[in-house]
Amino acid sequence: MSKPTVLVTRKWPSEVEEELKAKYDVTLNEKDVPMSIPELQAAFQNYDCVCPTVTDPINAEVLSVENKKAKIIASFGVGFNHIDLDAAKKENLVVTNTPEVLTDCTADIAMTLLLSAARRTSEGERELRAGKWAGWRPTHLRGTQVTGKTLGCIGFGRIAQATADRAHFGFGMKIIFSDPYMPSDEVINKYNATPCSSVEEVLEKADFVSIHCPGGESTYHLMNKERIGMMKKGAYLINSARGDVIDNDALIEALKNKTIAGAGLDVFEGEPELNPGFLDCENAVLLPHLGSASTETRIAMGMRVLENMEAYYSDKEPGDRVA
């Protein structure tokens, strides 16, 4: 019996690629160049399984191509708003993702952004590397103390809870949150967390607002000009979740006008294209989507893809099926 044919749209960790080679008839993207829409369409016509990443636009145009061979989309990444799930269901395609394995790594980045924004470390490094440091002085690059402040989480799922764990037990931060799905009393009590009745209540009370909700239509530009305006003047906005949750223009305006103190951002709407206005905001810490970028986590994500594929090709329900 021949092995299923598999296309991987980007370069993956070598440990995972070796596993794919051993188990499947796999075509790898050795040059690690993003695939075009016609190339993605051809992939669905010529392979049994397509393995995209969170930056590949698996939209209706791609999925509705004629003479499809593919039956499963085994995506590398926890997010799946890059995939048109309605179109996938219409075309009878199984869709899987890779949750859980990147929780701690992404929470680490959320705290990195929070600390860096509060303590102005990016500004300090830029000054030092540019040869502009004039020496220690009492008023130089004064930031904001983190210990004891209030962290407000928009969404309180796995990654938010892992961030709260670091913030509460590591820095004595008070935790408040808003989530349409209330966590258990055990979780709330663990962090001595306070549920808020709305996103707006979180914004009004938090010193640091950390985004942990999914992207997509329901949360598109959730943080618009009006809501950003509800934040404290000395507050910081942290986003390690999805770029389209924030209205870039509204945030840039708030940063330039010092309506809020700063921001720490790992994700951006339209990435990898960056709104150039961010480059003029000294009070913004900007990272190139590093949330899951540890060696251990990226390997674990790839192995999770393999687990989902193995289940599917063993006529079992994949554990991480989202469509």
Catalytic residues: 242, 271, 289
Sequence-distant (6+) residues with CB within 8 A of 184 are: none
How far apart, in whole angstroms, are the C-alpha atoms of residue 128 and residue 66? 56
Strand order in the sheet with 150-154: 194-195, 174-178, 150-154, 208-211, 236-239, 262-265, 284-286
Q: Residue 274 class from Cβ within 10 Å (0-12 exposed, 13-18 middle, 19+ buried)?
A: middle
How far apart, in whole angstroms, are the C-alpha atoms of residue 308 and residue 195? 35
